[in-house]
Amino acid sequence: MEIEGKKAMIVGGASGMARASAELLHRRGASVAIVDLPTSAGAEVASSLDGSFHALDVTDDEAVERVLAEAVEALGGLHIAVNTAGGGVAARTLGKKGPHPLGEFRQVIELNLIATFNLNRLQAFAMSTNEPEEGERGIIINTSSIAAFEGQIGQVAYTAAKAGIAGMALTMARDLGSLGIRVVAIAPSLFTTGITKGIPDEFAEVLTKDAAFPKRMGKPEEYGRLVAAIVENPMLNGSTIRLDAGQRFAPK
């Protein structure tokens, strides 16, 4: 799918990897809608991209349906969806204070996995009405993590959620294939976003010492470049692409 002239919704687009994706898609000629928390810099980012901002907590099911409809209306359609909203907690299955709090596990699954699926089903519905371009109507790009494959100690909830996102990719691609809608997940390693942005260089070197090359944290724009490559290559579908410099997480 050509990026020029397409309509892109970026969930989590006020910062980090999603913002870098939004900026690159805008430079390539796409119209952009930023969806993020009301406390985010989403309005400022959207203004800089001549786009629209739509405040949303992705765990609010009723609001998701309403806000996504507003975003699609503002865009005048939807061809590209990039979803990065998520987060985790640090807790072992059994820790010094007892079993992993079940409520915390549910919250992580809700924020990462269930919210992503809720976004996807609505985004796919919006894409389904598009006129096909060489048979293609849209592309959904979700954010997993290499923790889905080598979750570290204390990441059991996050691992389960991100593994679910990776696991959905092929099945959802098969579900939507007859409509010409692709689904791909990206599994990044450590990137300089959010809480990792302020990590001192010497600590970052320790965290990335097992990477093959380059031995550093990823840059948000490198995630954005993969997003653009996925959009433009119709043979990328149903898979989870590791974006990790050959890194494999150690147990801790």
**d(Cα 91, Cα 21) in Å, to the nearest integer?**
31
pLDDT at 93 over 90: yes
Residue 96 pLDDT grade (very low, low, confident, very high; cuts 50, 70, 90): very high
> Stretch 210-239: mean pLDDT, rounded?
97
For the question of residue 223 being annotated catalytic, the response is no
- CATH fold label, 7-242: Rossmann fold (3.40.50)
pLDDT of residue 251: 93
Structure tokens at 112: 């990462």
pLDDT of residue 43: 98
**d(Cα 252, Cα 250) in Å, to the nearest integer?**
5
Q: What percent of the chain has pLDDT over 70?
A: 99
> Stretch 226-247: mean pLDDT, rounded?
98
Task: Round the average pLDDT of the chain to a whole number and report it.
Answer: 96
Residue 205 pLDDT grade (very low, low, confident, very high; cuts 50, 70, 90): confident
Non-local CB neighbours of 101 within 8 Å, separated by 6+ positions: 91
Question: Which is catalytic among the residues 105, 158, 191, 249?
Answer: 158
- For residue 84, how many C-alpha atoms fall within 13 Å in the half-sphere facing its CB? 29
pLDDT at 8 over 70: yes
DSSP letters for 121-178: HHHHHHHTTSPPBTTB-EEEEEE--GGGTSPPTTBHHHHHHHHHHHHHHHHHHHHHGG
Model confidence over 68-81: pLDDT tens digits?
999 999 999 999 99
Structure tokens at 101: 């709090």
Residue 195 pLDDT grade (very low, low, confident, very high; cuts 50, 70, 90): low
Nearest CA to 184 among 220, 135, 136, 219? 136
pLDDT of residue 196: 75
pLDDT at 240 over 70: yes
Model confidence over 228-238: pLDDT tens digits?
999 999 999 99
Model confidence over 23-50: pLDDT tens digits?
999 999 999 999 999 999 999 999 999 9
- Whole-model pTM? 0.97
Q: Tell me if 212 sits within 8 A of 247, measured CB to CB.
A: yes
Q: What percent of the chain has pLDDT over 90?
A: 92
pLDDT at 203 over 80: no
**d(Cα 252, Cα 96) in Å, to the nearest integer?**
17
**d(Cα 161, Cα 140) in Å, to the nearest integer?**
18
Model confidence over 118-170: pLDDT tens digits?
999 999 999 999 999 999 999 999 999 999 999 999 999 999 999 999 999 99
